[in-house]
């Protein structure tokens, strides 16, 4: 694996700090990873974000993680999930321009809400994974009808999501959706990183490209 630090421009007032990781062999696809809530310490250095990065690499994918606007040293200010959608669009465009590979979208907590709201504007999406969606902040937007398969993962002791809501969401996707419930796991998934890597890497490895 190799990693490159990057700066991704969004607009004249916002530039994102990012890190692009490449697998040892030529990448099959590229995963864009979205971190948890900035106002509660979320950043691209989060343990779940790092697990998603490792999962993508294990599946033979490249991985781009970045800090949303206002998360130092990304410039700009936190925008409650609105301006952050522009961050995702800019990062996805940069990743496609750089590698020219099928795009996957992975998010954790707040990142799932921003990602689901932005997904319909990203064009083709090969696969996705939403980890511990923070449904207390709002609902997930519908997964685009022409996007690839979507994996949902949540702990059964997570007070910030609603498992019944995730079950209904996954069922609504038919064969494109799957929900994995982790027993005795909370929202932060501490100690469950290896299980998460295994589930997500297997999901990405079987995605149609």
pLDDT, tens digit (0-9, with 9 covering 90-100), for 123-136: 999 999 999 999 99
Give 72-99 pLDDT, tens digit per residue.
Answer: 999 999 999 999 999 999 999 999 999 9
Q: Which residues contact 40 (CB under 8 A, 6 or more apart)?
A: none
d(C-alpha 22, C-alpha 24), whole Å: 7
Give 20-51 pLDDT, tens digit per residue.
Answer: 999 999 999 999 999 999 999 999 999 999 99
- The pLDDT of 144-154, averaged and rounded, is 98
Class of domain 2-205: alpha beta
- The pLDDT of 171-178, averaged and rounded, is 98
Structure confidence at residue 1 (pLDDT): 81
- The pLDDT of 2-31, averaged and rounded, is 97
d(C-alpha 84, C-alpha 77), whole Å: 10
- The pLDDT of 106-116, averaged and rounded, is 98
d(C-alpha 92, C-alpha 62), whole Å: 13
Q: Which of 85, 80, 177, 86 is nearest to 137 (CA)?
A: 80
Q: What confidence category does residue 62 fall into, taking pLDDT thresholds of 50, 70 and 90?
A: very high
- The pLDDT of 177-182, averaged and rounded, is 98
Say whether pLDDT at 54 is over 90. yes
Structure confidence at residue 141 (pLDDT): 98
d(C-alpha 43, C-alpha 144), whole Å: 26
d(C-alpha 107, C-alpha 52), whole Å: 8
Structure confidence at residue 59 (pLDDT): 98
Q: Which of 19, 25, 32, 18 is nearest to 204 (CA)?
A: 32
* CB 85, CB 114: distance < 8 Å: yes
> How does strand 127-131 pair with strand 177-182?
unpaired
């Amino acid at each position: 694996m190799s990693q490159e630090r990057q700066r991704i421009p969004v607009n004249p007032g916002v530039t994102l700090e990012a890190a692009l990781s490449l697998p040892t062999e030529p990448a099959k696809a590229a995963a864009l990873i979205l971190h948890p809530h900035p106002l509660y310490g979320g950043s691209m250095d989060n343990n779940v974000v790092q697990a998603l990065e490792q999962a993508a690499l294990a599946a033979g994918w490249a991985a781009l993680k970045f800090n949303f606007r206002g998360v130092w040293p990304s410039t700009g200010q936190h925008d409650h999930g609105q301006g952050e959608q522009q961050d995702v669009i800019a990062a996805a465009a940069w990743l496609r321009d750089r590698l020219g590979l099928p795009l996957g979208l992975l998010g954790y907590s707040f990142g799932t809400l921003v990602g689901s709201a932005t997904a319909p504007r990203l064009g083709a999406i090969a696969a996705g994974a939403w980890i511990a969606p923070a449904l207390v902040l709002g609902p997930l937007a519908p997964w685009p009808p022409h996007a690839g398969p979507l994996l949902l993962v949540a702990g059964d002791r997570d007070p910030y999501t609603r498992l019944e809501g995730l079950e209904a969401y996954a069922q609504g996707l038919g064969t494109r959706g799957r929900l994995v419930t982790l027993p005795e796991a909370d929202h932060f998934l501490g100690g469950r990183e290896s299980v998460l890597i295994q589930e997500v890497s297997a999901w990405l490895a079987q995605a149609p490209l």
